[in-house]
Structure 1
Amino acid sequence: MRIGELARRAGVSTRALRYYEQQGLITARRSANGYREYDEDDLRLVAEIRALLTVGFTLADAEPFVACLRAGNATGGSCPESVAVYRRKLAEIDEEIRTLLVRRAEVAAQLAGSCPGCPTGKQGEK
């Protein structure tokens, strides 16, 4: 399939596909007339990349997942390198949650000091 069809089927722009190619995440074969050609495996790679980006991974984070799929594994997350990225991302998210909880407590304390009796929890909780 050509780049336009891959873009349509994957739900991304042709520009994004060219960028993924530039970053080494996908590789186009060239037809005799120079058009980029892709197959179903490329569609699978793009779907994996998009799924990872959607939940906050970077393109650099996607590299081991793509490599895992290219190696013939059923999923991009089944290789040790991918698992390590999952674990690192979970640790980052946990740290972000801790930071947000501290900030929330500080803001709630400021609100309580400025407005005694005002609810500081979700939808009227104190």
Structure 2
Amino acid sequence: MKISEASSVSGASARSLRHYEDEGLIVPGRCSNGFRDYCQSTIDRVLTIRSLLESGLPVRLIREVLPRLTDEPDVATDVVPATFLYEVQSYRDRLAARIAVLSDQQAALDTYLREARRPDR
């Protein structure tokens, strides 16, 4: 399928699809006229990329983990490097800390709103 159809099917903009290609995350085929040709497996890969990006993982980590998530299993990708796991854990810990701060802020706002709505005020 052409880039416009791939964009529609995947929910990723044509610009994002080109960016994923530039970053080495996807490799669409090419038609004889030079147009990109996206197959279903590439669309599936784009959906995985979008999900990982939405979770907040940076492209450099996605590039490293993507083969383990989308390619056929083989010996080379079965072993997850400790440094990669450390980076993902570190990212997860930073995310958990941000969530805690946001939860505290939400609780403070909830308290403020409860107090502001009290009838005796």
Global fold match (TM > 0.5): yes
* SS at structure 1 position matched to 2:25: coil
Q: Does 1:121 align with 2:111?
A: yes
- Give the direction of change, closer, same or farther, for the CA distance of 1:39–1:124 in structure 2 (3 Å limit): same
**Deviation of residue 122 (structure 1)?**
6.4
Aligned pairs, number: 105
Tell me if the contact between 1:2 and 1:36 (Cα under 8 Å) persists in the aligned partners: yes
For residues 56-114 of structure 1, the C-alpha deviation after alignment (integer angstroms, 9 at most, x for no partner) is: 222223112322134315xxxx8735x7254232111123245x27x85xxx7xxxxxx
- Give the direction of change, closer, same or farther, for the CA distance of 1:3–1:120 in structure 2 (3 Å limit): closer
For residues 1-28 of structure 1, the C-alpha deviation after alignment (integer angstroms, 9 at most, x for no partner) is: 2211111100111111001100110112
**1:4 is aligned with what amino acid?**
S
- Give the direction of change, closer, same or farther, for the CA distance of 1:54–1:120 in structure 2 (3 Å limit): closer
TM-score by length of 2: 0.68
- Give the direction of change, closer, same or farther, for the CA distance of 1:79–1:70 in structure 2 (3 Å limit): farther
Matching residue of 2:66: 66
- Give the direction of change, closer, same or farther, for the CA distance of 1:52–1:70 in structure 2 (3 Å limit): closer
Matching residue of 1:28: 28
Tell me if the contact between 1:68 and 1:79 (Cα under 8 Å) persists in the aligned partners: no
Partner Cα distance (2:110, 2:3) in 1:
52
Identity of aligned residues (%): 28
Matching residue of 2:18: 18
Runs of 4+ in structure 1 over 6 Å off = none
Matching residue of 1:90: 92
Considering Cα pairs closer than 8 Å and 6+ residues apart, tell me whether 1 or 2 has the greater RCO.
2
* SS at structure 2 position matched to 1:24: coil
